[in-house]
Amino acid sequence: MRIAIVGPGAIGSTVAAHLIQSGHQPLLCARTAFDRLLVQTPKGQIDATPVVLTDPAKADPVDWVLVATKAYEVEGTARWLQRLVGPETRVAVLQNGVEHVARFMPFLPADRIVPVVVEIPAERSAPGVIVQRRDGWMKAPAGVNGEAFAALFASSGVDVATAEDWASVAWRKLALNCAGAVNALTGLPAGIAAKPEIAELMRGLVAECLAVGRAEGAILEDELPDQVVAQYQASPADSVNSLLADRLAGRRMEWDARNGVIARLGSAHGIDTPLNQMAAILLSAME
C-alpha cells in the first residue's frame, strides 16, 4: 500500500509515526525539510527516518494521500495532489471543519475524497518533532472508503472507526471549535470560560453552529451549547486551543474553517449568525 502524507506537521507526523510503527512506509510530502521523525506518544517514543520530499515534481501516484495541512492551505496541497493522485487514488482529509470534501472537489472526484474528523492532541516543537498529549481517535464516514481508511490503521496506536452519521460527528467537533474563537480574540486560555458573560457568549456561538448544523442535516442535541461550555470550564484553566496558539505564535489561523463556515452556510440557509460572523471578521483582521 503506497501512502503519502501531505503536511507532516503535528497531526501528519503523528499519524505517520503510528503508520510506520504498524509496518507501513508512508512518504512524507513536506514544505519544510527534515531528516528524522521523533514522536512522543502516550505509549512511548517513535523514532523513524521516513522519506521526506519537498518538491511535488518528485512525487508519483500513490494508493492513499492523507492531507494534514491546515484547512486554508488548499493551493499548496493541490500542487502535491496533481502529482500524487492517479485514477485509483483515494484522498483522506484530516482537517478541522465540515468542508473537507468541498475543499478538494476541484482536484478529484468527490467519491474518492474521504473526510476525517481528527481528535488527536498533538503539538510540534520543530519540524518532525512532535508530542502527542493523549491517545486519540479519528472517524471517517461509514462505507467502502471509510472502512478502507480505517483498515490502514488496523494494528496501529490510533483508534480509527467509521460513523454512520459522520456529519453529526463533524458538526459536534465544530461546535467545540467555534467557541474557541473567544480565546483567540481575548488572547486568554480556557479559564476565561469561568466568567458568566464569556460562557454566555460561547453558548451563543455554539447555538448558531447548532442551528446551521441542523439545517445541513446534522443531528445535534439541544444541550450542545451547555456541553461545550462545561467542557471548556472543565479543562485546565491554562490550556490553549490551537486557534489561540496560532495567534500567539503569529501564524495564520483557521478562522474560516471554524467560524467563517458557520456564517457562510448560515447565510445560504437564511440563518443569522452574527456572533460567528463577527468572530471571523475580527480574527481575519488580526492576520
Q: Catalytic residue positions?
A: 173
Min dist. Cβ of residue 240 to ligand NAP (A): 11
- In angstroms, the CA 79 to CA 84 distance is 9
Min dist. Cβ of residue 179 to ligand NAP (A): 15
Nearest to ligand NAP of 28, 167 (CB atom): 28
Q: Minimal CA–CA distance to 158: which of 23, 15, 40, 45?
A: 15
- In angstroms, the CA 23 to CA 25 distance is 7
Q: What is the CA radius of gyration of the chain?
A: 19
Residue 147: phi and psi, rounded to 5, are -65, -40
Grid cell for residue 32: 519544510
For ligand NAP, the nearest residue by Cβ is 9
Residues within the interface to ligand NAP (CB under 6 A): 6-12, 29-32, 68-71, 73, 76-77, 80, 94-96, 118, 120-122, 124, 127, 242, 254
Instruction: Specify whether the CB–CB gap between 43 and 126 falls below 8 A.
Output: no
Nearest to ligand NAP of 13, 199 (CB atom): 13
Min dist. Cβ of residue 133 to ligand NAP (A): 8
Grid cell for residue 92: 483522506
Q: Amino acid letter at 126?
A: A
Grid cell for residue 269: 440557509
3-state class (DSSP) for residue 180: coil
Nearest to ligand NAP of 199, 232 (CB atom): 232
Min dist. Cβ of residue 250 to ligand NAP (A): 13
Nearest to ligand NAP of 67, 218 (CB atom): 67
Nearest to ligand NAP of 71, 178 (CB atom): 71
Dihedral Cα 43, 47, 48, 49, nearest 10 deg:
160
Min dist. Cβ of residue 167 to ligand NAP (A): 17
Instruction: Specify whether the CB–CB gap between 37 and 13 falls below 8 A.
Output: yes
